[in-house]
Chains A and B, each alone.
Chain A
């Protein structure tokens, strides 16, 4: 088993070979991402050298070493402020996308609803999200609610637009076929329209995954005492630049993790490619 070739190991599930297969996969992944990894490490090194070489004061721009130290010194603060932001982003992601998908289904089956409400969706979209935050604080208070609403709103529009397009993407010939098979509207929805919309939906969900984190953080800027957004404001006003940078790294990592979670779900759910006929 130990010297099994990767291709052989792939065929055998739950044997020793599978462990080697994972290791092989990891090695291949590292090799594939080696250029990007080296480039990133190079940038970080350059940043440190610039900070050292020009004696940049820490409050103005901390070097990577300072930021790493800040992680250790502020682990507790970062951790307690990480969870609320994660919750707001995830709940906003879920609510914003569920409402967008349901609205898209309604729009596709009711052209009147689409004509009536699509412009309203565009108007809401065109309000700068940062201007919406104080309004929502006045409306629903200073708790977790305005953050979830803003994170949800920021997800909502791309998903609505993509989902409407996805649900309408069934080819006329495909719909003719379903009519000839005397398929009901619900059969057409579940067997043709909904599966066909999934690539469109996931394209939007990937955008939403990162922007929901942004929405939550922006919402926390407006009179909040917790969350990564509040921490960013606090660290800035106190010139605690290493903490500020560490918070930004955490926020970016959260967005990246959510993005890859959605990508992973997509790779498991959408296992087909659209066929361009002939």
Chain B
């Protein structure tokens, strides 16, 4: 299933951020339940940006939530930097960005970014990022004292990204983070996410419904098929970084999206 991954071109050969082996996820009782993921195996190279694409019900969110220790593993294994998802969660190895910004509406912007530093187990020697710097990084310098209801949807999602980065996670798990935003805001945030990725070197796993978004962002695209959820293809996107929005009008880009659209039709 990994044939399409051109591993030789990867700097981080044999250095997986996330390693999924023969993963089965079943929900509910044995006879009345349903299989969300069936025999999924995939290696996410450290430092890569992998987008996950697939029809509804293909289990892409479930896969992401399994990595995040939000879903109980039925069978198989998931390892995050060599640890179980639970250990990785406790060690603050990853952060999660939801489709909703999930900000606490009674806390101002900077206090929302600080939230991860106030709860859970904090490692004694861990160094965390400066919330003010992170807000500047996501373009919200000067809005520290704003309340969430004073921000636009896009701005709230930027705060959520800053909050995710405050613990300096090695992996960023993003579940359709820009899915509810308008196209212009979404384009802008896509570009900024690429910049963040290149500046921080964080591994990013990004679930999306949009083929252009998957291709624009992804170093690799993981295509899942539905009923049951399984890996359809894990392909490298041979488009150079840094990428700009104009790239989406090039023949190369359109060839990749056309290929994925055809694959999606077969799922």
CA gap between A251 and B103 in the complex, in Å:
43
For residue A272, CB closer than 8 A to chain B, the reply is yes
Check if B98 is an interface residue, CB within 8 A of chain A: yes
A195 at the B interface (CB under 8 A) = yes
Q: Are B100 and A180 neighbours in the complex by a CB distance under 8 Å? A: no
Report how many A-B pairs have Cβ atoms within 8 Å. 83
Q: Are B70 and A180 in contact (CB under 8 A)?
A: yes
Taken together as a complex, chains A and B put the C-alpha atoms of A275 and B105 apart, in Å, by 6
Asked whether A195 lies within 8 Å of B106 as measured between CB atoms, the reply is yes
**Judging by beta carbons under 8 Å apart, are A191 and B119 in contact?**
yes
User: Which of B70, B100, B105, B120 lies in contact with A278, CB distance below 8 A?
Assistant: B100
Contacts of B118 in A (CB 8 A): 187, 191
Main secondary structure on chain B at its contact with chain A?
A: loop
- B245 → A minimal CB distance (Å): 21
CA of A171 to CA of B89, assembled, Å: 20
Instruction: Determine whether the beta carbon of B89 is less than 8 Å from that of A182.
Output: yes
Q: Count how many chain A residues have C-beta atoms less than 8 Å from C-beta atoms of the other chain.
A: 26
B228 within 8 A of A: no
Question: Which of the residues A177, A270, A278 comes within 8 Å of B153, measured between beta carbons?
Answer: A278
| Complex CA distance for A277 and B180, rounded to whole angstroms | 9
Q: Which residue of A lies closest to B100 (CB)?
A: A277
The answer to whether B104 and A195 have CB atoms under 8 Å apart is yes
Residue of A nearest to B175 (CB): A173
Chain A CB within 10 A, most for which of B89, B102, B116: B102
- Chain B nearest CB, measured from A92 CB (Å): 29
Q: Does A122 contact B (CB under 8 A)?
A: no
CA distance A191 to B112 in the complex (A): 11
Pairwise interchain contact B101-A183, C-beta atoms closer than 8 A: no
Verify if B96 is at the interface (C-beta below 8 Å from A). yes
Q: How far is the CA of A223 from the CA of B93 in the complex (A)?
A: 69
**Docked complex Cα distance between A36 and B90 (Å):** 59
Contacts of A196 in B (CB 8 A): 106
Chain A minimum-CB-distance residue to B101: A277
A180 B69 Cβ-Cβ under 8 A? yes
CB distance from B77 to the nearest CB of A (A): 20
Residues on A lying within 8 angstroms of B by beta carbon are: 171, 173-174, 176-184, 187, 191-192, 195-196, 198, 270-275, 277-278
Q: Which residues from chain B sit less than 8 Å from chain A, CB to CB?
A: 65, 68-70, 89-90, 92, 94-96, 98-106, 115-116, 118-121, 147-149, 153, 156, 180-181
Q: Beyond A180-B70, A195-B106, A271-B147, list 8 extra A-B contacts (CB 8 Å).
A: A177-B102, A183-B120, A187-B118, A271-B106, A275-B103, A275-B149, A277-B102, A277-B180
